[in-house]
Structure 1
Amino acid sequence: MASAKIRRPRADATRNREQLLAVATRMFATADAEPSMRAIANEARVGIATLYRHFPTREALVDAVYRDQVSRLTAGARELLTQLDPPAALRRWMDLFGEWIATKNGMLDTLLAMIESGKIAHAHTRTELLDAIDDILAAGRTSGELRADVPAEDIAAALIGIFTVAGAPEREAMAGRLLDLLMDGLRPSARG
């Protein structure tokens, strides 16, 4: 019995997929409404057929962008801990979280429909994000630089609140101030 060879995608196909993901992510983050598939293909400088070859439906594209962003956000927590002390890593991760939230602007209707239908497991994403926060908190607790009594769920709720109030690009300075205030409250000395 001959074993079947697994064929890798061609280099240009891989580049096209990565380019489409990057462009779709950027367009979703900056759009007030969901951009058309044609607009995404045009911005990525590929034909519409190339887009549909990689992502046969809008849902497939939204799913790929969503999963890519969650993966980057969760891996980002571990990577930041190799480069920064825990408080600085957490503060930078909060900025990444805000960028992740912004990505949803132009795909919100499709994303909500996919979550409602069960095509995207929202609970699994929540667990991944809480684990990322917990990784940073654990390092900060060990070093004594972050409070030991604050659960990841509280930080996630605070972040959602901050980016609900100050998530618009024109409120970036406000979001930064609120994130700094949150960080001040996470330091052991802030407890008085």
Structure 2
Amino acid sequence: MAEIARRSGVGSATLYRNFATRRDLLEALLVDEVELVCTAASTIDADTTGARLTAWLHRFFQYVTNKRPVAVELLQHTDRDSPVFGASRDRVLAAGEPLLRAARDAQDVRADVSLDQILDMIVAIAKIPGRPDYRQPILDTALAGLRHV
């Protein structure tokens, strides 16, 4: 916590006033980032519904890769069944469903996979070891497979 306070430019007392434990801080970081991903679902602009969905899925991928260390650290202080993980997943699904539904209605994406499955695929790709430029073509190929045939 002292290192976090130092990097943030605040005193330890300020940090502890706002976050009693490391777990509280990690949960707040995760929740804040989830909020940004959910907001992006309604603000992403693209020419087609399929392109909007794909752009948002790229944003989700960015979230997963950037916040993975936070989630891993949080798992050291809680377990996967923690409400913060379930609630976050539910919020992301609720934000993304309208994008998927619109893309399906426009026949921009296939109808045989759920958003849950798509997000699981993206998380799996994000876990692949290596540099981001190694994972990016894998993600692009997987998302191309969502297009309606």
Give the TM-score of the pair, scaled to structure 1: 0.67
Distance in 1 (CA, whole Å) between partners of 2:147 and 2:51 is: 11
Distance in 1 (CA, whole Å) between partners of 2:40 and 2:87 is: 17
| More divergent stretch after superposition (87-96 vs 50-59) | 87-96
- Aligned counterpart, 1:110: 74
- Aligned counterpart, 2:95: 132
Does residue 69 of structure 1 match 2:33?
A: yes
Counterpart of 1:174 in structure 2: which amino acid? Answer: Y
* Cα deviation digits, residues 48-79 of structure 1 (max 9, x gap): 11111111211110111111111111221122
- Aligned counterpart, 2:140: 180
Distance in 2 (CA, whole Å) between partners of 1:187 and 1:136 is: 14
Does residue 87 of structure 1 match 2:47?
A: no
Question: Larger RCO: Structure 1 or Structure 2 (Cα < 8 Å, ≥ 6 residues apart)?
Answer: 2
Query: Contact conserved, 1:91 with 1:179, CA < 8 A, in 2?
Result: no
SS at match of 1:165: coil
Q: Going by fraction, where is helix more abundant, 1 or 2? A: 1
- Aligned counterpart, 1:52: 16
Unaligned runs of 5+ in 1: 1-36
Unaligned runs of 5+ in 2: none
**Superposition CA RMSD, Å:** 2.1
Distance in 2 (CA, whole Å) between partners of 1:139 and 1:91 is: 12
| CA gap 1:142/1:112 in 2 versus in 1, 3 angstroms | farther
Flag the structure with larger Rg. Answer: 1
Does residue 157 of structure 1 match 2:120?
A: yes
Query: Identity over the aligned pairs, expressed in percent?
Result: 27
How far 1:148 sits from its partner (Å)?
A: 2.1
How far 1:140 sits from its partner (Å)?
A: 0.5
- Aligned counterpart, 1:8: none
| CA gap 1:43/1:89 in 2 versus in 1, 3 angstroms | same
Counterpart of 2:146 in structure 1: which amino acid? Answer: L
Counterpart of 2:112 in structure 1: which amino acid? Answer: D
Distance in 1 (CA, whole Å) between partners of 2:85 and 2:52 is: 25
- Aligned counterpart, 2:2: 38
How far 1:107 sits from its partner (Å)?
A: 5.0
* Cα deviation digits, residues 1-24 of structure 1 (max 9, x gap): xxxxxxxxxxxxxxxxxxxxxxxx
How far 1:116 sits from its partner (Å)?
A: 5.1
Query: Contact conserved, 1:91 with 1:183, CA < 8 A, in 2?
Result: yes
Query: Contact conserved, 1:91 with 1:180, CA < 8 A, in 2?
Result: no
Distance in 2 (CA, whole Å) between partners of 1:161 and 1:52 is: 35
